[in-house]
Amino acid sequence: MRLPTLIAGLCLLHCATAGKVCARPRTIESAVFRPGKVVYESRDVVTYSCIAGYEKESGNDKAVCLALGNWEHATLKCRRESDPSPRYIYYITYKLYTPNTGVTMYSLLGANESECLESGKWSQKPPVCEVVTCPPPPLPKFAQLDFFTPREKNISIYQDVVTYRCLQNFALIGNENATCTENGTWSGIPECRDVKCNPPTVIPNGFMSFSLYRKYNYKEFVTYGCNPPYTLEGPRISFCDKDGEWSQKPSCKAPCHVNTPKANVLYNGRKTRVDEIAGQQIHHGDILTYFCKNKIDKCAYTVPSQCQDGNFTVPACYKKPGTFSLFSTDPSKMTPCAQESEQ
């Protein structure tokens, strides 16, 4: 045969067989094979072994996926052991990573071990493995299922989740989600409780939105505010919580009187004198920034001070203008120190 003809023939054979795969190999009685796959590629090899209680009698224990998509089958034969040792079956968990199925848990039903007796029989019947299932989830009083997707025959399987919610004005105590556990029961079923709160109270130097003197239901709320010139700190709304108490209430913080009327300061983003601020009074949380003099470097730097519920401290570096202030330089008009220029 000429060389070009031979090469063409080999190419034709390769092209005809390329991409062939094998299905799962045939089963052999009393044996299992590994690895287990859906399809096998050319030259893949699986190895058979006899199950517990059986031993190899004869034959080849390997099967090979051929290039044409068929198997060169194993010829293994297994026979029952003449005096098998006790067979132990352990609790087994199967994890199926397939779409829309998640994780499936199997439970062992029956004895987890069996002993070979003198009579040649086993002391216990072989156990079986069944999928862990849960009955329909219980429904607490005043509750309803917000999310529940039962499977066939109205059952759920391991790790299925249901979500509860309570009827209006009832508080959910516990976790809103319950899960089908490996024991076949639902975890942490919540409780729906009829919660009432006593009438809300006012806050010092503040006021409350209109409210009736009565018991309040769960999640009902009131709104707070402060009398001028006090400042509200904290949540404006307080609601009846699941423990029968009102959630955190705000407080009203006092303003501060600043006693440095001639000081030039920075306030609300602009430069001003303290006596130009209405009543020389600032609100809780407000900040005044003072100008201080660095006599050595002959420059000015700034120091902030904040009003804290009626308390205000003037920075120690601030010097009140004296009688001869006309002959001294106001720090607010001096060149900023190097550190200030970099900020």
pLDDT at 122: 76
pLDDT at 341: 53
The answer to whether residues 337 and 323 belong to one domain is: yes
Is residue 105 domain-resident?
Answer: no
pLDDT at 323: 56
d(CA 174, CA 159): 19
Is residue 118 domain-resident?
Answer: no
pLDDT at 91: 36
Domain boundary among 228, 253, 278: 253
Number of domains the chain contains: 4
Report yes or no: 224 and 203 within 8 Å, Cβ to Cβ: yes
Say which amino acid occupies 156.
Answer: S
The answer to whether residues 55 and 43 belong to one domain is: yes
The answer to whether residues 182 and 225 belong to one domain is: no
pLDDT at 93: 40
The answer to whether residues 313 and 247 belong to one domain is: no
The answer to whether residues 239 and 276 belong to one domain is: no
Q: Closest by alpha carbon to 206, among 238, 179, 176?
A: 238
* Per-residue pLDDT tens digits of the chain, which is 343 residues long: 444 444 344 444 444 445 689 989 999 999 999 998 888 999 999 999 999 888 999 999 999 999 999 999 999 999 988 754 444 443 334 343 333 444 556 666 677 777 777 777 777 887 777 788 899 999 999 999 989 988 888 889 888 999 999 999 999 999 999 999 988 999 989 999 999 999 999 999 999 987 788 999 999 999 999 999 999 999 999 999 999 999 999 999 999 999 999 999 999 999 999 999 999 999 999 999 999 999 898 999 999 999 999 999 999 999 888 655 555 688 999 999 987 655 5
Q: Closest by alpha carbon to 285, among 221, 242, 340, 229?
A: 229
Report yes or no: 176 and 198 within 8 Å, Cβ to Cβ: no
The answer to whether residues 263 and 331 belong to one domain is: yes
Which residue reads 């106001």 in tokens? 330
Domain boundary among 177, 194, 211: 194
Is residue 139 domain-resident?
Answer: yes
Region of residue 317 (phi > 0: left; psi between -120 and 50: alpha; otherwise: beta): alpha
Domain that holds residue 188: 133-194
The answer to whether residues 163 and 212 belong to one domain is: no
pLDDT at 37: 86
The answer to whether residues 265 and 292 belong to one domain is: yes
Which residue reads 């949540």 in tokens? 235
Domain boundary among 80, 95, 115: 80
Is residue 110 domain-resident?
Answer: no
Is residue 215 domain-resident?
Answer: yes
CATH number for the domain harbouring residue 233: 2.10.70.10
The answer to whether residues 260 and 327 belong to one domain is: yes
In sequence order, the 6+-apart residues with CB closer than 8 A to the CB of 162 are 137, 145, 147, 148, 156, 177, 178, 186
The model's pTM is 0.55
CA distances from 132 to 92, 94, 186 (A): 12, 11, 12
Q: What angle do CA 185, 186, 187 make, to 5 degrees?
A: 115
Q: Closest by alpha carbon to 201, among 243, 165, 251?
A: 251
